Structure 1
Amino acid sequence: MYDTAIKELNAFLKGQYMGIHAYEHLIQSTDDFYIKKELQEIQKDHKIHAMRVAERIQNLGGTPVDDEGFIGSIQEFMSRWTTPTATDDILRTALKGEDFYGIQMSHEIVKGDLDPQSQQLVDEILHHDQKHVDRLRNLLQ
């Protein structure tokens, strides 16, 4: 009955793992203590979001994925050589990841395929991710 919701939530969860790993590279690339702390806070939010989505999948009777999947691991592997080191570039990369991949692509992944409770969870997470976008934009100014 919830097979579609489980599948879509798992796709959304893979995106959360991709974000967690992307932030890991960005955090390692900066020597700016303040920026590092800001990125760590956002990464921590993604970890909490991943836990909440995994719990929802389990509550629906499914098995949550535990990584970003094959395509995500290839992207993560490639990002090791393309991670910027300048603070503004790190922030721009994080901003693009949050805004385009984190929010816009996530809306497409789960569009219309979730039960009301799962949709509410995803909407809460995406609303929180929008706050990350705002936070990153402020850091760039």
Structure 2
Amino acid sequence: MSNEHQIDTLNKLLKGQHMGVDAYESYLEKLPASSPLKEPFITIQSDLRDHANLLSTRILELGGTPKKSEGLVGKMELFMSELFDRPHDEKEIVKHAIKGENIYGNKMTEKIAGEELDEHNQQLIHTILFKQREHVDELKIILDNMKNEE
């Protein structure tokens, strides 16, 4: 289990966190200033930034160079998602956020958690995964409340 493998694996997760930060930035830009979604979305985006900082710090500790963005593939995925699955109202934005958290966040993190990593890195990844699952739960509650208000 080389440091290079650890660094590459953590950088994969780091790129996903950058992708999430950018996705929430896009959502926030679409929301009206008075939207009640602003606060929870800003909080989730802040958590993703915190995760990115934790991963970057750990990568540096291992002697690696942290990725600074989601990369070209991540940018293309975000662009295609926006192009073909463009949310138009607040409810659609929440649905889109849930989908992104599940597909790009949780599934990717679960896959990475299954890789051979040292105990410290496994613990870091599981901490991030736990918080990402909380985000999905919170978004589902918000969506349920929106449906109940209809």
Do they fold alike, i.e. is TM over 0.5?
A: yes
Residue 19 (structure 1) aligns with: 20
**Matched-pair identity in %:** 38
For residues 106 and 44 of structure 2, the distance between their equivalents in structure 1, rounded to whole angstroms, comes to 14
Residue 59 (structure 1) aligns with: 61
Q: What stretches of structure 1 move > 6 A for 4+ residues in a row?
A: none
For residues 113 and 78 of structure 1, the distance between their equivalents in structure 2, rounded to whole angstroms, comes to 31
Does structure 2 conserve the Cα–Cα contact (< 8 Å) formed by 1:25 and 1:80?
A: no
Q: Higher mean Cα deviation, 109-118 or 36-45?
A: 109-118
Structure label with greater radius of gyration: 2
Residue 114 (structure 1) aligns with: 117
Output the amino acid matched with 1:69.
G
Output the amino acid matched with 1:33.
S
Aligned: 1:87 with 2:90: yes
Output the amino acid matched with 2:3.
Y
Output the amino acid matched with 1:91.
V
Residue 70 (structure 1) aligns with: 72
Output the TM-score relative to the length of structure 2: 0.88
Q: Which runs of 5+ in 2 are unaligned?
A: 145-150
Residue 39 (structure 1) aligns with: 41
Residue 106 (structure 2) aligns with: 103
Question: Alignment partner for residue 128 of structure 1, among 121, 131, 138?
Answer: 131
Count of residues in correspondence between the two structures: 141
Does structure 1 conserve the Cα–Cα contact (< 8 Å) formed by 2:15 and 2:70?
A: yes
Output the amino acid matched with 2:73.
I
For residues 70 and 7 of structure 1, the distance between their equivalents in structure 2, rounded to whole angstroms, comes to 16
Does structure 2 conserve the Cα–Cα contact (< 8 Å) formed by 1:26 and 1:83?
A: no
Task: Determine which structure has greater relative contact order: mean sequence separation of CA pairs < 8 Å that are 6+ residues apart, divided by chain length.
Answer: 1
Q: Deviations over 1:28-81 (max 9, x none)?
A: 112252101111110010001000000000001111100001101222333454
Q: Which runs of 5+ in 1 are unaligned?
A: none
Residue 4 (structure 1) aligns with: 5
Q: Provide the aligned C-alpha RMSD in A.
A: 1.4
Determine helix, strand or coil for the equivalent of 1:34.
coil
Output the amino acid matched with 1:97.
G
Output the amino acid matched with 2:27.
L
Does structure 2 conserve the Cα–Cα contact (< 8 Å) formed by 1:58 and 1:64?
A: yes
